[in-house]
A and B are shown apart, each in its own frame.
Chain A
Amino acid sequence: MPDDSPLYIPVILGTVRQGRMSERAARAVHRQLARWPNVETELIDIAAMPLRTDGAGQDIKDPAFAAQMTRADGLVIVAPEYNRAAPGLLKHVLDTCLKEYIHKAAGIVGVSAGPWGGTRVIENLLPVLRELGLVCIFWDVNFAQVRRAIDEQTGELTDPRQAERIDKFIAELVWMSRTLRHGREQVALEPRPA
């Protein structure tokens, strides 16, 4: 029987900086994803995680985060662009898991204060996510000039077209998450030809 239970697709807020504008972007995407039928989500704020620095990789795995990644069918990663790259602590957190990610979908939300909308951090993250075993979708969300993109008081998007772009992104991520769940459950690796 195919597993038709709700998909679990958390949103990872990938920065710990004070005053981070990415939080508004993450909350906007999370709010929109939460309205999606047959999807369960939550916001995972890496600033609220115990970030150990006395080791690296899977040696410092946080059990709660690992359990969330095991349960996940897909991920939304919200990443600001800091000097053309992803925040170091986001990479530090992502590196603590591996088996939990394999054959699961990932979509990236890039955030920048300038006009490029985090395009370069998205390019920067793609090979990292692939190495972790995640399957990246081809839609991204770009928050350019993020201070203007989201109303400071209400948290609402200032451009309604951005909501449409986010829905396109979510639709692709949901499809990929559902398809990969089916594959993980039902489609076995082909044996090596004799």
Chain B
Amino acid sequence: MNCPKCGAAMNHHAEKPVEPITPDEERRASEGGIVIVEAHRCPRCGVEDARRVTLSYV
């Protein structure tokens, strides 16, 4: 993930499990997936960002 401010590659430091909230997340979770929030911070300018991802283990 690149920094939305300076474009540098961000440091991916966490994957926090969270509850599914969208129908697609709920479907994928019911199939054995796990919903996470990926947390990133820019080592150049300190911007923090995150995105929701569903990991699939099936």
Contact = CB atoms under 8 A, between A and B. Distances in A.
Which secondary structure dominates chain B's binding surface? strand
Nearest to B51: A99
Contacts of B46: 3, 5, 185
10 contacts: A99-B37, A102-B14, A133-B14, A133-B39, A184-B14, A185-B43, A186-B43, A187-B11, A187-B13, A188-B11
Interface string B18-40: 10000000000000000001010
Contacts of A183: 13
Given A102-B37, A103-B39, A184-B41, A189 B48 contact: no
Contacts, number: 48
Contact of B50 (A3, A102, A187): A102
Interface in B37-57: 37, 39, 41-43, 46, 48, 50
A187 to B, nearest CB: 6
A3 B50 CA distance: 20
Q: Looking at A70, A102, A188, which has the most chain B CB atoms within 10 Å of its CB?
A: A102
The 3 closest A-B pairs by CB, nearest first: A99-B50, A184-B41, A102-B39
Contact of B16 (A5, A98, A185, A187): A98
B11 A186 contact: yes
Interface in A149-194: 183-189
A187 B37 CA distance: 17
Contact of B14 (A3, A5, A100, A189): A189
Interface residues of A, number: 16
Interface string A1-29: 00101000000000000000000000000
A3 B12 CA distance: 17
A100 B49 CA distance: 8
B50 A185 contact: no
A133 B18 CA distance: 10
Contact of A184 (B15, B16, B18, B48): B48
A160 B34 CA distance: 50
A49 B45 CA distance: 29
Contacts of B48: 70, 99-100, 184
B15 A189 contact: yes
A103 B11 CA distance: 13
Interface string A27-52: 00000000000000000000000000
